[in-house]
């Protein structure tokens, strides 16, 4: 498979694209670090959207690039298959690349983690970069900004992004009419901590803090790239991977603040529920071990550097005290 990729002619000049080659049976994939690099340079203090895409969603990536006027970094997942299929996919990627006026590799100070099937409805990029109060929070490195996520209650209404609301007034109208709701409302732990009732009432420009974080929280966030810990790679497929990434950020001392004027909306599509059910079950077990391990690591780190009782250790104190075995293990090791 790797030899097929290396022989493809367009890979000789790809400058900023990571192609993930999946292996059978949900084993970890190989990363081929060839890449495209756009000719336009953005300033370092800008926001890069980072996302993952498969070949059947290139058209959605194209829509994302047309709606977002900043840099975009895209990891393209290429499944194992016949030589002709791989070559055809990479040719399609080349055609797409020529239509995207954005950087396909994060080279800015700030990044946003966003699934490709979300539509960007508001200009949060300009609003953040032009607000000294908000950008100063990002510069400190201990804040992640939450962009609230929504989906249509009737999935047929979520197919055409050109019909999506473009401002909060339009959003609220659809929410009040029961046509829009928080994303994955059936799984409240995922986004409920954003406090949507507070978001609906929040005055323009009034960024507010998430005060009831819990470990399943997985909003779409903007943060300072160099100040956040790396996301753990032990998770495979769907479920818990993003929550685990944000859990690590939270324990490192990063707090979440919600943008009151901005939002993204999910584009309806069919889910592979059978596969997702298996992956979700597997990853939930992995996440339980990950939480205990990560709590123990940060608990010990804060204890040894003397910050456990300070503000820097607040998230560790409040979150990890509830995990079985962690407080006792820390006391035993530090005795």
DSSP 119-156: EE-S-HHHHHHT-HHHHHHHHHSSEEEEE-EEEESSGG
CA 308 from chain centre, in angstroms, equals 28
**CA-based nearest residue to 253, from 145, 143, 136:** 143
Give the three-state DSSP class for 75: strand
The alpha helices in the chain, defined as continuous H runs, are 2-7, 58-67, 83-97, 124-129, 132-140, 168-176, 196-201, 241-252, 273-304, 314-320, 326-334
Q: Which residue has the higher pLDDT, 232 or 13?
A: 232
Question: Model's pTM, two decimal places?
Answer: 0.81
**CA-based nearest residue to 63, from 162, 139, 137:** 162
Alpha carbon distances (Å) from 42 to 82, 106, 326: 38, 10, 44
Range ranked top by mean pLDDT from 8-12, 75-79, 153-157, 235-239: 153-157
Torsion angle (degrees, nearest 10) of CA 54, 82, 233, 42: -50
Q: What is the pLDDT of residues 211-254, one digit of tens each?
A: 999 999 999 999 998 898 888 877 776 667 889 999 999 999 99
The domain spans of the chain are 1-108, 116-291, 292-334
Q: What is the pLDDT of residues 283-316, one digit of tens each?
A: 888 888 889 889 988 988 888 899 988 988 899 9
Q: Which residue has the higher pLDDT, 103 or 123?
A: 123
What is the band of 87 on the pLDDT scale with cuts at 50, 70, 90? low
In this prediction, residues 132-161 reach a mean pLDDT of: 95
At residue 235's C-alpha, the angle toward residues 234 and 237, to 5°, is 145
Q: What pLDDT is recorded for position 127?
A: 96
């Amino acid at each position: 498979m790797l030899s097929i990729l290396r022989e493809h002619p367009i890979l000789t000049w790809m400058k900023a694209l990571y192609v993930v080659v999946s292996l059978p049976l949900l084993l970890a994939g190989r990363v081929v670090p060839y890449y495209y690099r756009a000719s336009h340079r953005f300033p370092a203090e800008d926001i890069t959207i980072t996302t993952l895409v498969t070949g059947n969603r290139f058209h959605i990536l194209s829509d994302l690039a047309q709606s977002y006027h900043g840099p975009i970094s895209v990891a393209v997942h290429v499944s194992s298959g016949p030589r002709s299929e791989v070559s055809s996919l990479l040719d399609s990627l080349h055609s797409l690349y020529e239509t995207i006026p954005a950087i396909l590799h994060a080279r800015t100070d700030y990044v946003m983690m966003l699934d490709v099937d979300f539509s960007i409805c508001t200009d949060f990029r300009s609003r953040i970069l032009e607000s000294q109060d908000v950008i100063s929070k990002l510069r400190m490195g201990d804040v992640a900004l939450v962009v609230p996520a929504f989906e249509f209650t009737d999935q047929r209404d979520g197919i055409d992004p050109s019909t999506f609301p473009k401002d909060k007034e339009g959003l609220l109208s659809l929410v009040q009419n029961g046509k829009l709701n928080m994303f994955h409302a059936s799984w409240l732990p995922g986004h409920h901590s954003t406090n949507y009732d507070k978001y609906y009432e929040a005055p323009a420009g009034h960024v507010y803090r998430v005060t009831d974080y819990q470990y399943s929280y997985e909003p779409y966030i903007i943060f300072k790239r160099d100040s956040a810990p790396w996301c753990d790679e032990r998770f495979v497929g769907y479920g818990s991977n993003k929550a685990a990434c944000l859990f690590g950020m939270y324990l490192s001392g990063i707090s979440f603040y919600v943008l009151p004027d901005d939002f993204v909306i999910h584009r309806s599509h069919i889910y592979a529920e059978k596969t997702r059910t298996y992956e979700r079950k597997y990853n939930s077990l992995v996440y339980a071990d990950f939480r205990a391990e990560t709590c123990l690591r940060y608990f010990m780190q804060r204890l040894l550097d003397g910050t456990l009782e300070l503000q820097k250790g607040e998230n560790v104190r409040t979150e990890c005290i509830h995990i079985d075995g962690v407080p006792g293990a820390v006391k035993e090791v530090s005795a």
